[in-house]
Amino acid sequence: MRKSPATATSPSPTSGAKVENVCVYCGSNTGANPAHVDAARILGKALAEAGIGLVYGGGGRGLMGETARNVLAAGGRVTGIIPGFLSEKEQMLRDVQELVVVEDMHQRKRMMFERSDAFVALPGGIGTIEELVEQLTWAQLGRHTKPIVVANIAGFWDPFLALIKHMQSEGFIRRDMDVTFIVVSRAEEIVPAILAAAKPSAPAADSKLADKF
């Protein structure tokens, strides 16, 4: 384990076609619907089979742990990034290839961003939605063009998607500041969607996988 130095700067505009690591945001609980656990397991295996590393919050509980353990079980690589104060609460997973213990949540999120070429939001709680919205905000402001996938497993994110549309209809998301991300309903679709969106010859605005709000 090692500690990372703090950084207070905002992310720089970034883009790139090669997908080496994907950051997955998800709950530290498993949730009430078994479909969410199944999705985490399927995604973990799919990442490993595609040769894509997982970057995640470092915990061993809930969907976080299910995703990471299934990457490892399929022979993949995992980077866990966790603040020291959460090491017990989220049951830090020590079996990963790289475990980075940082000082606070800001360092964790910044490092997860820097280490990742795309982002996936599985079902989760307040922390998950906060991380997802931060990436959407940075993308909206032109700070990165990395693919963002919302895994709407069993309709989990339907209220969030409705809220985005409501914000647009109320004039709080201008047409020149659209929020663009990919929505899939099955875990099997996540990796193909990321790879398709990352191709430089397939701009996100023209992708059939992209939902634009």
CB-CB contact of 119 with 23 (8 Å): yes
Query: Given CA atoms 102, 108, 114, 115 in this order, what sign does their dihedral have?
Result: positive
Q: What is the DSSP string of 91-158?
A: TB-TTSSEEEEESSHHHHHHHHHHH-SEEEE-S--HHHHHHHHHHHHHHHTTS----EEEE-GGGTTH
pLDDT digits (tens, 9 = 90+) for 80-109: 999 999 888 888 899 999 999 999 999 999
CB-CB contact of 117 with 15 (8 Å): no
> 207 or 197: whose pLDDT is higher?
197
Q: What CATH number labels 21-197?
A: 3.40.50.450
Amino acid identity of 29?
A: N
Q: What is the pTM of this model?
A: 0.85
Q: Where are the domains of the chain?
A: 21-197
Which two structure tokens, joined as six digits, stand for 89?
Answer: 């609460």
pLDDT at 160 over 50: yes
